[in-house]
A = this chain, B = another copy of it.
């Protein structure tokens, strides 16, 4: 499949592994790149020296294209970006911030820049900023999420109508069938998080991976809407969040409840009671922890069989 996404990144399949905090280190990202997709290191949970170590290991583990996801609200941003430039990272996915701030600086160094958005307003900002592609992420997605609550099914056509950029769909995609669905809507590729978070190569804590596999319909919830919306898996910490929501707690109360370091606690250290467990709605469809190669094979064969079945469907 040659299209705007495979062409832009120089990859075989239009499948990007989302850069996730605490899940996507060099092991996961290199496995995805080696399997013909695009692996992303999740810098959102890495201090610069940790990122440097992952970049060194990444380069030793794959000769294929790879990238780094950088949430722009990160406190050590200048240092992270200097490191990315010095290490000649070929592709950067930015998120949670203004695409105008870094796009031109990175592109001047020959870096391909993609920005993550959840609404048309930011898609247009991305286009103005000159990004090379956008990730359009729907309500289903795990972790940080848009305020409009627009689902992937409604978001992709909306973004397609608004901008001419290549569109990578994210949120709710964990199978080749879902990949076919969002490509039918006009996407040029997919970004997949949750399915890869529950892979063998993911750096998530094994207990968290097990929780993903056990997740059912309705097990994830969009929370912290008075701060910045984030989709969490149910656990005792979520129950506290829910209590706060039902009684209409203030933003300051939510901030205090959240505290610091809860994502690391839950997702990386495996404290499932007190930690924050970020995962997408599609976790309900994830039943086993698998190696990346198997996940990729299933995505591709599921996509191809869907496309083949479609030949019979003309109305």
Q: Using a CB–CB distance below 8 Å, which chain A residues touch chain B?
A: 1, 13, 119-120, 138-140, 147-155, 157-158, 161, 171-173, 175, 177-178, 180-186, 217-218, 221-222, 226, 245-249, 281-282, 284-285, 300, 303-304, 306-308, 310-311, 313-315
Contacts and interface: CB of A to CB of B under 8 A. Distances in A.
Nearest to A309: B184
B218 A158 contact: no
A138 to B, nearest CB: 7
A311 B226 CA distance: 45
Contacts of A315: 1, 13, 300, 303-304
A284 B151 contact: no
A149 B218 contact: yes
Given A154-B282, A177-B185, A181-B182, A148 B245 contact: no
A173, A218, A308: most-surrounded residue (chain B CB, <10 A):
A218
Given A1-B313, A177-B185, 18 more contacts: A13-B315, A138-B153, A140-B154, A150-B281, A150-B284, A151-B151, A151-B172, A153-B173, A154-B172, A154-B282, A157-B175, A157-B285, A158-B284, A161-B285, A180-B310, A183-B310, A304-B315, A308-B314
B149 A152 contact: no
Given A153-B140, A218-B148, A178 B185 contact: yes
27 contacts: A1-B314, A1-B315, A138-B151, A139-B151, A140-B153, A147-B218, A148-B218, A149-B221, A150-B218, A150-B284, A151-B281, A153-B172, A154-B217, A154-B281, A155-B217, A157-B175, A157-B177, A157-B178, A158-B217, A158-B284, A158-B285, A177-B184, A177-B186, A178-B184, A180-B310, A307-B314, A310-B311
Contacts of A246: 226, 248
A118 to B, nearest CB: 9
Q: Top 10 A-B pairs ranked by shortest CB distance?
A: A248-B248, A148-B218, A181-B181, A153-B172, A180-B184, A151-B151, A181-B184, A247-B248, A154-B281, A310-B310
Count copies of this chain in the complex: 2
Contacts of A13: 315
A217 B156 CA distance: 12
A154 B185 contact: no
Nearest to A176: B315
A151 to B, nearest CB: 4
A305 to B, nearest CB: 10
